[in-house]
Amino acid sequence: MGLTLTEAKKNILRELNGNPSHGYILAKALKVRGSTIYEHLEQLEDHGYIESEEDGRRRIYELTKKGEMIIEAEEL
């Protein structure tokens, strides 16, 4: 089953377009709760739109090729 790209998830993809970021920074930029942003990030990563890697105690999230193609296709 595919992931529904809600407006909130599209906003995350927009923020990550060319700008890898920590979840906390995304939450502040998008003005959403931390728990909400991490739930969305987990779903986006599980479906291959983003990937993450550890950076000390935090994770940096960035778009995958699939995420980039979605942005281009939907002109987010």
Ordered structural domains, the chain, with CATH: 7-74 (1.10.10.10)
pLDDT at 74 (0 to 100): 79
Which structure tokens are listed for 40? 């969305």
Task: Answer yes or no: are the C-beta atoms of 4 and 49 closer than 8 Å.
Answer: no
pTM value surpassing 0.75: yes
Beginning with the edge strand found earlier in the chain, give each strand of the sheet holding 50-55 in spatial order: 21-22, 58-63, 50-55
Contacts of 56 (CB under 8 A, 6+ apart): none
CA–CA distance, 49 with 69 (Å, rounded to integer): 9
pLDDT by 10-residue block (mean), the chain, 76 residues: 88 95 96 94 97 94 95 78
pLDDT at 1 (0 to 100): 63
